[in-house]
Each structure stands twice: as C-alpha cells, then as structure tokens.
C-alpha cells in the first residue's frame, strides 16, 4: 500500500502549541492525517545556533520529522523571500515586495535542505504531497535527486494573474519549477486559470484543455480543490463550547448586547483597519445601536520581526482607540481588540454566540474562519456571515452577505443588515451555506486531491 508523505513549512507537533489557533494549513492536514498513515516533514520552528538538527517523533501512526533552520536560512528563506517577497506578490501586492538575490538563493537553499532530509526516507511507492508557497521549488529538488514518485503540490494562498506575477524578479526560474510536480492543486477556478495562463504565455507550454500540460516528457495537471472544514464535528464542538465557562464569562461581560466577531492573525491581507473603519461608519449611521452591540476583534500578532507588521499593529490600535474614544461610554466599549491566541474550542463557542461575523480580507486563498463560523451556528437561530468577495470562500458561500472590503460605507450597511435580518432569511441563508460546507467537507478535499495524485488517468471534476 502506498505511503503518504506530507511536506509543509510548519507542522502540528504533538505537545507543542498547535492546540491553540493553528493556521488553515495545519487544520486541513491534521484532518487528512486522521485517515492516512505516513510521514509529515516540516520546519521545527527552531533556529539553530550551530548545525541544524533533525527531530523525529511518532504520533497516531504518523512519523513527524522536523528540521531546524540556521539563522541565515531563517532570515533569507522565512523572513526574507517567503514573507517579504512571495507573500505580498501572491496576494497582488507588488508594492510591498522587497526582493534580494541573497534571499532568493536562501529560499532555494532551504528547499534543497528539505529535499536532502527527505531523500533517504523515501521509497519508490511513496506518494509525496508538498504544501504552499514556502516549498514551490521542492519538487524540482527531489527530481534532481532521482525520485520518480508521484509528487503533488497544493497552494493554499491565491495565485495571481501573469501581469502581477511577472513583476517578481526571477519568476521564470521559480514558477517553472512547479512543472516538476504531477498535480498542482489550487483553491479556486480563477487561481487555476491564472496559473494556466502563465504556463501558456511565459513558459510557452501548450495545452488542449488549459489543465493538462506536457513538461520534459511528463504530464502536469492543474486541479481545483477548495479546502473545507470538519463541518459536523465543528458544529458539535461549538454546541458544547458555547456553554463553557470561558464563553459564558465573555457573554456575561457584554450583557445582552449583540456580539459581532472577527478572527484574523495580524496581516495586511486581512483588511482589519478598513473593517474597523466600516464598523465606525455603522455606528455613525445607526445611533440606535449604540450601547446595543459589541464588536470583538481577535487578532494574534504574527511575523513581529517584520517592520511592516509592527506599523500595521500601530495603525489598527490607533483606529480602534479613535472609535472607542468617539463612541464609547463608561459602561460600553464598542470595540474589544484582543491580541492573543485562543484555541479552536473557545473560538467555536464564540462563533456560535455571535450575531454576525466580519470576514473581510482584501485577498485570501480560501479563508477557513468563514467556513468555521457557518459550521458553528445553531441552525435554529443562526448568525449572519459578512464575507469579502475577494476571499476564495466567496465563490462557494454566495449565500453570505458579500461585500467589497474597500467600500467601508457598504460594509457598514452590511453590518446593519446582518443585525436586523429577519429570522426566516437568516435560517434560509444558513441552510444553503451549511449544505455547501457538507459538500466540500475537509474529508472530501484531502481525499479528492490524494486520489487524483495517485491516479493520473482520473478525470478532475469541477469543484
């Protein structure tokens, strides 16, 4: 039986902090590995003072292998090329890119190190599944070491159109390396179309269907695999967690006010500052809701070593302070802005007790917070999802209130509509959204990609 080998920058190490708010990638892969045994390789999260070490632990039938990074590798690969170049470019923000040849070479160097660590572990029957923008070059590095295994790649973030991507120096060297994978998975049809156009226009590769390309005598396929959540399990978790002491304490502290929730790590792609301004506009236009609503924005700090993130934290904090200073009263703080991490159970309970959720990224590959919010709702009294049309999830969750996050006036109006939406409309919207989540459950996502990777003759159905 073929063994699955997962590779990602970060892994969920047992006993570590992954029980707190794990990212979408870790949540998705943990769910997949509940049903498949194999190896999961990634970065340990440690920066070695000397020679980087390799660590291995077996948990639940999964051999989790991690490698340290040296300080130069961490600076060049992680802080540098991954976060100062690829992250902004893939989110359409060429203006924030800070490219250097040293960091690009560091990115390639760490991809080569991952290949060196993985090389002696592989057997010819292993199925290898590589994840996300940190490891785009890994497939090529493995091929150069002689591995002919089926190797797939999944991009969890957006793939921009060619006229954006070609602004990246050395794009042709990096993106062409994707052609060493047998199957490339993307979140949406638009992302797949963008990659197809790049391969056709920049790599001069031909394709009859825009999804299958020949590269060096090998067939490379593109597929659309929207990531989901553990829908029914998360609903049961939310039902229990809504009665937990933590959630009861939060709800008691806001008295009988309606709760609006936002949950995002600190990042410029999330549109948090604009979202706060939209809530400010809502308060200005709807004085009847003063003292009657509380907006809770949970935003764990991330990438604090990068100066742009420190500046962003300052701007958001000042914006929240201005709103609270203008509209707040001794007994009411309109916005609660919390910079800490909560575990999935706590968030599930808060989602269930919230009248509305603000999920308004400026650009997102999928956005699992939107799906978790829907999954968490009480079907007999559901809340309302306000969702950016620029999140990948918007293509599936079109029964949400879709908004342009740049239009703070319109988002403010959507908040008012969500809080006053009639029960029958709320329930009808939630039923449609929940049905969509069940169709594209996390189990469906992982198994669809795995089966397509194992079976190259299998037709790739539309997502």
Catalytic positions are 156, 364
Q: Is 162 helix (H, G, I), strand (E, B) or coil?
A: helix
A 10 A CB-CB count for 173 gives 12
Surface-to-core class of residue 56, CB atoms within 10 Å of its CB (0-12 exposed, 13-18 middle, 19+ buried): exposed
Task: Select from 242, 246, 226 the least CA-distant residue to 440.
Answer: 226
Asked if 359 and 369 count as a contact pair (C-beta separation under 8 A), the reply is yes
Surface-to-core class of residue 58, CB atoms within 10 Å of its CB (0-12 exposed, 13-18 middle, 19+ buried): exposed
- Residues near 186 by beta carbon (within 8 Å), at least 6 away in sequence: 154, 155, 159, 192, 195, 222, 223, 224, 225
Surface-to-core class of residue 415, CB atoms within 10 Å of its CB (0-12 exposed, 13-18 middle, 19+ buried): buried
Q: Is 374 helix (H, G, I), strand (E, B) or coil?
A: helix
Take residue 139 and report the two structure tokens written for it: 């497939």
In 328-407, which residue ranges form alpha helices assigned H by DSSP?
344-353, 368-376
Asked if 319 and 273 count as a contact pair (C-beta separation under 8 A), the reply is yes
């Amino acid at each position: 039986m073929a063994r699955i080998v997962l590779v990602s920058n970060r892994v969920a190490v047992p006993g570590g902090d992954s029980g707190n708010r794990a990212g979408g990638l870790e949540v998705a892969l943990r769910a997949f590995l509940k049903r498949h045994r194999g190896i999961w390789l990634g970065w340990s999260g440690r920066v070695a003072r000397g020679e980087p070490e390799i660590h291995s632990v077996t948990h639940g039938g999964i051999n989790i292998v991690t490698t340290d990074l040296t300080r130069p590798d961490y600076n060049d690969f992680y802080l540098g090329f991954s976060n100062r170049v690829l992250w902004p470019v893939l989110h359409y923000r060429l203006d924030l890119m800070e490219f250097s040849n040293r960091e690009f070479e560091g990115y390639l160097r760490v991809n080569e190190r991952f290949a060196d660590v993985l090389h002696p572990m592989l057997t010819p029957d292993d199925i290898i599944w590589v994840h996300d923008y940190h490891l785009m070059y890994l497939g090529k590095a493995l091929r150069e070491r002689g591995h002919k295994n089926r190797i797939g790649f999944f991009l969890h973030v957006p793939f921009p159109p060619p006229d954006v991507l070609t602004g990246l120096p050395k794009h042709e060297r990096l993106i062409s390396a994707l052609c060493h994978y047998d199957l490339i998975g993307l979140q949406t049809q638009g992302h797949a179309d963008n990659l197809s156009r790049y391969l056709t226009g920049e790599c001069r590769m031909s394709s009859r269907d825009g999804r299958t390309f020949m590269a060096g005598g090998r067939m490379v396929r593109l597929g659309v695999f929207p990531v989901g959540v553990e829908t029914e399990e998360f609903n049961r978790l939310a039902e229990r967690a809504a009665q937990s002491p933590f959630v009861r304490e939060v709800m008691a502290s806001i008295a009988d006010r309606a709760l609006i929730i936002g949950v995002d790590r600190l990042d410029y792609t999330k549109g948090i500052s604009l979202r706060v301004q939209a809530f400010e506009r809502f308060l200005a236009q709807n004085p009847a809701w003063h003292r009657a609503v509380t907006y809770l924005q949970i935003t764990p700090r991330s990438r604090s070593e990068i100066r742009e993130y420190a500046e962003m934290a300052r701007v958001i904090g000042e914006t929240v302070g201005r709103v609270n200073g203008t509209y707040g009263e001794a007994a009411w703080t309109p916005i609660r802005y919390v910079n800490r991490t909560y575990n999935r159970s706590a968030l599930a309970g808060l989602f269930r007790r919230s009248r509305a959720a603000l999920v308004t990224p400026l650009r997102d590959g999928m956005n699992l917070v939107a799906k978790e919010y829907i999954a968490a709702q009480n079907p007999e009294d559901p809340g309302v999802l306000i969702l950016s049309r620029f999140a990948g999830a918007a293509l599936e969750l079109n029964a949400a209130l879709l908004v342009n996050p740049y239009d703070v006036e319109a988002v403010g109006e959507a908040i008012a509509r969500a809080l006053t939406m009639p029960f029958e409309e709320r329930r009808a919207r939630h039923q449609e959204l929940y049905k969509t989540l069940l169709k594209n459950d996390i189990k469906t996502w992982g198994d669809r990609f795995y089966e397509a990777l194992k079976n190259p003759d299998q037709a790739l159905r539309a997502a």
